Amino acid sequence: MCDDQELARLDRMKSYRTIKAGETFLWRGDPLVQLSSVVRGIATLNKTLEDGRTQVVGLLLPSDFVGRPGRSEIGFDVTAVTDLTLCCFDRQEFERLVQETPRLAQRMLEMALDELDSAREWMVLLGRKTAREKIASFLDMLVRRTRVKDGQLEPIALPLTRDEIANFLGLTLETVSRQLSILRKEGLVEFQDRRHFVVLDLAALQEATGDDADGGMIV
Amino acid sequence: MCDDQELARLDRMKSYRTIKAGETFLWRGDPLVQLSSVVRGIATLNKTLEDGRTQVVGLLLPSDFVGRPGRSEIGFDVTAVTDLTLCCFDRQEFERLVQETPRLAQRMLEMALDELDSAREWMVLLGRKTAREKIASFLDMLVRRTRVKDGQLEPIALPLTRDEIANFLGLTLETVSRQLSILRKEGLVEFQDRRHFVVLDLAALQEATGDDADGGMIV
DNA sequence: CGGGCTTTTGACGCCGCTCAAAGATAGTGG
DNA sequence: CCACTATCTTTGAGCGGCGTCAAAAGCCCG
């Protein structure tokens, strides 16, 4: 994340923590005593309305930051989607480090602004896209994420259940399932099992996102 | 925004610009040469899909920042809702200033994280709330914003047209109009003209937002 | 007074939600 | 190895909220 003797100091104050899949380990409103960053696994930031409707407002992948310096309360529930390993720091000590380390603050700023851009792209999806476009956008995002490593048409992991995807896209799990079936029947994608798919027609998939050519997720 | 001799330096590099209501003055994809902050008026960050559907992804009020340091391209269209006055800085010079001024970076970080929290609250609204709840949430946000100054039940300005509200909430202008009429007929609010309203029953309005008691917009 | 714009209201249709049931899949214990 | 169960997923039928299309009403400004 940074490259200096600050790393050494970060090193001394860090500790590791593991969480089992499915567990919500930070709750909105609780005091925020530790910050952390994801080492391994996937987590989501969620908010639930009083009647139980849930929206995922952030997806945390390895290297992503959890919690926010300069705030004493947790703003959103955080749930482990898979088994999770975190690298934790004491919040106040970390804040002190940020104050004394200009480059760390700049790096944090950069990360926050990137997340803000992603959140805004996601707002377009939530507010204006159809179910089909939402699903296509979601798959396209996964493709862009994994394409870096893979050559081309490798099978891609679908890390979330239908229900979790629904809460991510502002849909119901039934609609997610139906739209995935439609894309499959149209030959855009193919499933080897329910958690792994291959893109057969990337152009058509991106066409189905509703975005203009370059306009995909920044994520 | 900051309090030192940096201010003096900021002062020397700043210039003012005015934009007329309705004008889109920054376009997605254009090179980002100037950063600015809103002095007077209201602007929106928008993204438009290829078929014309538009989503407002940010509301810019006086003191809010426009553009983002560390990126060379504009990420979203920016439109003046009212007549607008901006205070502009050269981007590269501002970035240099940020690098040399730790406290400025920390302040920018704080602002970015606050915006990120608002964006996430907004994602819940866009993804999960009904039209009625969206409208109630919007009015409630305006109330919270203006209540600071006013004692209590002063008339509140509705700065956007029905169409702009619709693009903000992920609705159509007709639905916005209908839901406002319903809230009016139910006696929760009263309109003196189409751009100014009074809240008659704040408890009922907040009940209608769908949030739990404390859970409103952070904005 | 007249023309353009915003807003309201109505009628209707469709997309996605709800309710329901059956089909996969994985994990567990006999 | 095979029930047996719990969980996840698929698919269907029906409905309702919100979008679409259309027209009328209110408002601003010349």
Per-residue confidence (pLDDT) for residue A218, from 0 to 100? 44
Closest Cα in chain A, distance from residue B138 (Å): 15
pTM of the predicted model, to two decimals? 0.92
B3 touches chain A (CB under 8 A): no
Give the DSSP letter string of A6-50.
Answer: HHHHHHHH-EEEEE-TT-EEE-TTSB--EEEEEEES-EEEEEE-T
Average pLDDT, chain B: 90
Which residues in chain B land under pLDDT 50?
216-219
Which bases along strand D come within 7 Å of a protein CB atom? 8-13, 17-22, 27-28
Residues of chain B in contact with residue A218, where contact means CB-CB under 8 angstroms, are 75
* pLDDT, tens digit only, all 219 positions of chain A: 555 566 676 677 899 999 999 999 999 999 999 999 999 999 999 999 999 999 999 999 999 999 999 899 999 999 999 999 999 999 999 999 888 888 888 899 999 999 999 999 999 999 999 999 999 999 999 999 886 665 556 889 999 999 999 999 999 999 999 999 999 999 999 999 989 999 999 999 999 999 987 654 444
Closest-CA residue in chain A for B207? Answer: A50
A181 CB contact with strand C at below 7 Å: no
